[in-house]
Structure 1
Amino acid sequence: MPTRLTHTRPKGLAIWLILAGVIGWFAAFQLTVEKFHLLANPGASASCDISFLVQCGKNLNSWQGEVFGFPNPIVGLAGWVAPIVVGVAILAGARFARWFWWLLWAGMAFAFCFVLWLISQSIFELFTLCPWCMVTWVVTIPSFYAVTLHLLRSGVVPAPDAVRKVADTLMGWVPLLAIVSYAIIALIAQLRLDWISTL
């Protein structure tokens, strides 16, 4: 017997998806503009190149910055539209089928895994902290947590009632989960790059 769906109009999640989508899209747009600037002006510095450690240029010009054969920010320009549309649709009264929620989760899981890989590359291979990239990290991580917990609490993912209750409780703790995640990333970056001494 299918699990009964609840939380079919998660307004809080919808507002977050819109906010995160707009912030993520803007960061991707800024990185795209910087990439165009660097392509048009070889040897120039990006406007977000603040120091040897905090910069966008090295990331944009690396192979990690073009994993799919084109600049990574283009993925963000296309991808961040989805949560914006989903959030607006929820606020407008839309209710989605399970398969739709699974597709949204798959997209968020891809973004989350991709961001984790980019974080590792930035810290351990490129030795930089890209400002606009970090903005993307800041919104991707809690977005993945929120969508995952929503799928569990709502019954989209079949789970025992106890698991659904825990997911519903944790939904209110997403900001703290995100802050803990940021702190772990900051600690790893400090141990590897000693970024505090450059402030």
Structure 2
Amino acid sequence: MTEPRTLPTALALWLVIAGAIGWWAAFSLTAERFHLLMNPGSSAGCDFSLLVQCGANLTSWQGSVFGFPNPILGLTGWVAPVVVGMAILAGARFAKWFWALFALGMTFAFGFIVWLIGQSIYVLGTLCPWCMVTWLVTIPTFYAVLLHALRIGALPAPRAARRAAGTLVGWLPLLAVLSYAIIAVLAQLRLDVLNSLF
């Protein structure tokens, strides 16, 4: 059964925008990784200081968790939100099972970046600029897709949870900002970012 509501145009627009930004960040990180491979001993173009850099993240084992550079996941994965968003804008309606699978994929992406954020702040002690761009778009995209899947009944949840999801959709910007604030506080407490920058 397809979704019973009107086409989620705002979600579709966000998926296209976030997907494009996320893909560009992944492409930039992939290019930096190739640069480091071809020029051993050089620094990445996004290495601004010991704190703000990509190099340490890209060359660490955390940067290739699945046996290949993590940005390759982004190059392939961020295509999906763009395609889904464009399809919705073109008038497509997706079945509930599709939204459930899409929400599952975004949950994996969210969980993965939460782990990477922890590794970056607490283990590597760096803030990777292009990684942070990825965090910036993954977090609200996860919330948006999850809440949409809940409110249309694509995920098993009580009626009250579906109503709550419908209400929370209007609070998505605040949810994203609160998430960013938590990351900023954790980074400040662990890395003393403000003193490092000034």
- TM-score tier, shorter chain, comes to over 0.9
Q: Which runs of 5+ in 2 are unaligned?
A: none
- Cα distance, 1:90 vs. partner? 0.5
Q: TM-score, normalising length from structure 1? A: 0.95
Q: Is the 8 A contact 1:8 1:95 kept in 2?
A: no
Amino acid at match of 2:37: L
Contact 1:150 1:168 in 2 (8 A): yes
Alignment partner, residue 141 of structure 1: 139
Give, as a single letter, the amino acid of the residue that structure 2 aligns with 1:94.
A
TM norm structure 2: 0.96
Q: Tell me the secondary structure at the aligned position of residue 172 of structure 1.
A: helix
Structure 1, unmatched stretches of 5+, are none
Q: Structure 1 residue 132 and structure 2 residue 135: aligned?
A: no
Q: Deviation at 1:97?
A: 1.2
Q: % of aligned pairs identical?
A: 68
| Cα contact 2:54–2:130 (8 A) shared by 1 | yes
The answer to whether the 8 A contact 1:46-1:57 is kept is yes
Corresponding residue of 1:106: 104
Maintained 8 Å contact 1:48/1:131: yes
Query: What whole-Å deviation, never above 9, does each CA across 1:74-97 have from its counterpart, x for those lacking one?
Result: 000000000000000011111111
Structure-1 separation of matches of 2:4 and 2:163? 12
Q: How does 1:48-87 map to 2 (within 5 A)?
A: 48-87=46-85
Aligned CA-pair RMSD: 1.3
| Aligned-partner Cα distance in 1 for 2:70–2:18 | 18
By how many angstroms is 1:8 displaced?
4.9
1:91 to 76, 80, 89: 89
Are the counterparts in 1 of residues 153 and 162 from structure 2 also a CA contact under 8 Å?
A: yes
Rounded Cα–Cα distance in structure 2 between residues aligned with 1:173 and 1:116: 21
